[in-house]
Amino acid sequence: MNKARKATILSISLTTRTFDEILNILDENANTDCDLIQLPEFCLGSAKESILAMDSEEFKKVGAVAKKHSKYIVFPVYRKTEYIKRLNTAILFDRKGNIAGIYDKLYPYWEEFDFDPPVVPGEKAPVFDTDFGRIAIAICFDANYTNIWKTYREKGVDLVLWSSAYSGGRSLQAHATNYNYYIISATYALDCHVFDITGEQLFYGKSADSVGVFKNEVDLSRRIFHQDFNVGKKLENMLEKHTGEIEKDKWCENEGWYTLRAIKEGVDVRTLAKEHNMEELSAYKIRSEMEIDQIRGTSIYG
C-alpha cells in the first residue's frame, strides 16, 4: 500500500444531466488543482437508456478526461454485464484513464428493485490503492449498514467516498467516529460533507444552484491512537526521536484518543508507529474484541 499523504478531493454535487453535460462539467473542473473528482449517485438518471455496458463509449470518454488532466474520477452510473441487466455502480478511473476499480452498491434502495430491469445488489466491498492512500466507495442507502463500514476499517481504508441521492449527515459522522477514516460525499441533494478520522465535521457546503463544486484537502497521513498503552515515555520518545517529522495533532480528552500527523514530506506515521510498538486505534479495537471474546469463550454475534 502506498504511503498516505495529503490529497485534494473535488466533490461535484448535481442533479441528473445528459452525458455530454457531465463530460463538460468534468473537463472544466479537472483543470483545478485536485487529485480526485467524485460525482453523485445516478447522475445520468435511472432510465433504461442510462444503463452502460463496460465497453461503452461513455466510459472511454470519461477515461480520456481522467488521462488528459491526470486525475482520478469516481463516476457513479447504472451498468450492465453479460449476465446482469442492472447494477448501481461507481467506476474509479485512475490518472492514466484506466478503470482502476468497480464498486457495486451492496444495499440498493427499495424502489430500485421496482425498476425495469431491477437493480441487482453487489456482492463485495473492495478497496483501492491510489497514489495518495487507500480508498473505498459507498453509495447512498449503504450508509445504513454498518457491516460495510466495519469491513472498510478492517481493510485499512484512509478515505471513503460516498456518492448519494440524499445528504447523509449524522450517519456518515457516526461511521467516521466509529471506524476512524475520512468520509467525503457528493450528492444529488447538492451538498457535501467532510468528516475526519475523529468524526469531526471539517466541512459542510450546500449549493443554491443546480451544480455544487466543493474542494477539500484532507491529510491522510494522520493516524489515530487510543491513550491506552500509547502515552507516557512511549509517545514522548517517538516525538523526540522524530522531531521535525511528525507531531501530535489533536488530543481528544473525552474519547481518550489522540492523532499524529506527518509534517515532513515522505514520512509515514504508520511505519514509525509500528517501530515504536504503538497500536493504531482501529487495530486496538479489533484486537480487543477478538481477545476479550476468547476470554468470554464466545462472541456476541454467535
pTM higher than 0.85: yes
The number of distinct structural domains making up the chain is: 2
Q: Are residues 137 and 228 in the same domain?
A: no
Question: In 144-265, which residue ranges form alpha helices assigned H by DSSP?
Answer: 146-154, 170-179, 233-241
Is 301 among the domain residues?
Answer: no
Q: Is 55 exposed, middle or buried (0-12, 13-18, 19+ CB in 10 A)?
A: exposed
Is 260 among the domain residues?
Answer: yes
Integer Cα distance of 184 and 158 in angstroms = 11
Is 18 among the domain residues?
Answer: yes
Q: Is 122 exposed, middle or buried (0-12, 13-18, 19+ CB in 10 A)?
A: buried
Q: What's the pLDDT at 2?
A: 62
> Domain span at residue 174?
6-219
pLDDT in tens, the chain (302 residues): 567 899 999 999 999 999 999 999 999 999 999 999 999 998 999 999 999 999 999 999 999 999 999 999 999 999 999 999 999 999 999 999 999 999 999 999 999 999 999 999 999 999 999 999 999 999 999 999 999 999 999 999 999 999 999 999 999 999 999 999 999 999 999 999 999 999 999 999 999 999 999 999 999 999 999 999 999 999 999 999 999 999 999 999 999 999 999 999 999 999 999 999 999 999 999 999 999 999 988 877 66
Q: Are residues 71 and 205 in the same domain?
A: yes
129 Cβ neighbours under 8 A, 6+ residues apart: 1, 2
Q: Are residues 97 and 12 in the same domain?
A: yes
Q: What's the pLDDT at 302?
A: 65
Q: Are residues 20 and 97 in the same domain?
A: yes
Q: Are residues 117 and 264 in the same domain?
A: no
CB 87 within 8 A of CB 112: no
Q: Are residues 160 and 234 in the same domain?
A: no
Is 1 among the domain residues?
Answer: no
CB 43 within 8 A of CB 76: yes
- CATH code at position 122: 3.60.110.10
Which of 198, 219, 240 terminates a domain? The answer is 219
Q: Is 114 exposed, middle or buried (0-12, 13-18, 19+ CB in 10 A)?
A: exposed
Q: Which three cell numbers stand for residue 287?
A: 484486537
Q: What's the pLDDT at 299?
A: 76
Is 298 among the domain residues?
Answer: no
Q: How far is CA 288 from CA 93, 101, 151, 154, 197, in A?
A: 37, 32, 16, 13, 20
Integer Cα distance of 230 and 240 in angstroms = 15
Q: Are residues 25 and 127 in the same domain?
A: yes
Is 22 among the domain residues?
Answer: yes
For 109, phi then psi, to 5°, come to -75, 155
Is 21 among the domain residues?
Answer: yes
Q: What's the pLDDT at 53?
A: 97
Q: Are residues 213 and 238 in the same domain?
A: no
Q: Are residues 78 and 145 in the same domain?
A: yes
Q: Are residues 64 and 208 in the same domain?
A: yes
Q: Are residues 145 and 283 in the same domain?
A: no
Which of 156, 186, 219 terminates a domain? The answer is 219
Is 168 among the domain residues?
Answer: yes
Which of 186, 219, 252 terminates a domain? The answer is 219
Q: Are residues 31 and 145 in the same domain?
A: yes
